[in-house]
Chain A
């Protein structure tokens, strides 16, 4: 199962879309010369994770923040990582896999 996304859909703070394939909201960002795809639902209560100016995934509902390396919560005692998707870069598109 995969989703294909055109690269030109990505804006500065990424691109999010609802995926029926994965039954999830997928959020794709470009950081440190690579594409990263995560579930856009904050694991707390489902708020919107957004890449902020400090290169953290941030949910404004309850101020939860996650790092972009290990995808761990950095300001709350929450142990699990964010749900990630594999990304394969093609010339003008991205393939996203679970």
Chain B
């Protein structure tokens, strides 16, 4: 069974800032209650394999999950997750910059589920919407503040993009991080 649906939202930040938030994996355990520690298993300028501890909804327990994120040719993000019970979740995150500081993010979900999930179709969609909503609300202050900081001429600890200091609209991956980063434990 294939389950397809979309979640669309608009935020008052540039596409660069919206994408930065998606590729900043270090904030997950500090900002999102649903995530425990994360570890990068592999990454390069187009792809990351990341192991996260994700909270099982309505329980105090965390399980390990593997996520793959790909920087697509059109500068969007494709997330493919394998989940328990043979579920494969494909999420294409489309970032549409409406103006220099306004971006629409459309999440295109495509879940491949075993047939016995059919009676739970509505519950699954509603749970994902709720999960998405919680994440969105936790991330929103980061995006808005990051946009504000950049508007004020803020330079990251690595100095943003050295080739384009005044207009940081090119996202170079992977995002620089320190040697002691919590994400590096497996490297």
Q: Do A and B bind each other?
A: yes
Contact B180 A76 (CB under 8 A): yes
Contact B157 A41 (CB under 8 A): no
Task: Report the separation of the CA atoms of residues A76 and B152 in the bound assembly, to the nearest whole angstrom.
Answer: 25
B178 contacts which of A25, A47, A60, A77 (Cβ < 8 Å)? A77
Query: Taking A44-B157, A61-B30 as contacts, is the C-beta distance between A18 and B152 under 8 angstroms?
Result: yes
A14 within 8 A of B: no
Task: Report the separation of the CA atoms of residues A62 and B30 in the bound assembly, to the nearest whole angstrom.
Answer: 6
A45 contacts which of B24, B148, B179 (Cβ < 8 Å)? B24
Contact A45 B146 (CB under 8 A): yes
Task: Report the separation of the CA atoms of residues A18 and B142 in the bound assembly, to the nearest whole angstrom.
Answer: 17
B63 within 8 A of A: no
What is the predominant secondary structure among interface residues of chain A facing chain B? loop
Name the A residues within 8 Å of B146 (CB-CB).
45-46
Sort chain A's interface into a size bin.
10 to 19
* Chain A nearest CB, measured from B101 CB (Å): 15
What is the predominant secondary structure among interface residues of chain B facing chain A? helix
B156 within 8 A of A: yes
* Chain A nearest CB, measured from B140 CB (Å): 13
Name the B residues within 8 Å of A46 (CB-CB).
145-146, 149-150, 154, 156
**B 1-57 contacts with A by CB, 8 A:** 20, 24, 26-27, 30-31
**A 58-79 contacts with B by CB, 8 A:** 60-63, 76-78
Name the B residues within 8 Å of A80 (CB-CB).
157
A interface footprint on B130-149 (CB within 8 Å = 1, 0 otherwise): 00000000000010011011
* Chain B nearest CB, measured from A77 CB (Å): 5
Name the B residues within 8 Å of A18 (CB-CB).
148, 152
A3 within 8 A of B: no
4 extra A-B contacts, CB within 8 A, seeds A41-B154, A46-B156, A61-B31: A45-B146, A46-B145, A63-B30, A78-B157
Can you name 23 A-B residue pairings with CB atoms under 8 Å?
A23-B152, A24-B152, A24-B154, A25-B149, A25-B152, A41-B152, A41-B154, A43-B156, A45-B20, A45-B24, A46-B149, A46-B150, A46-B154, A46-B156, A47-B142, A47-B145, A48-B145, A60-B30, A61-B142, A62-B30, A63-B30, A78-B157, A80-B157
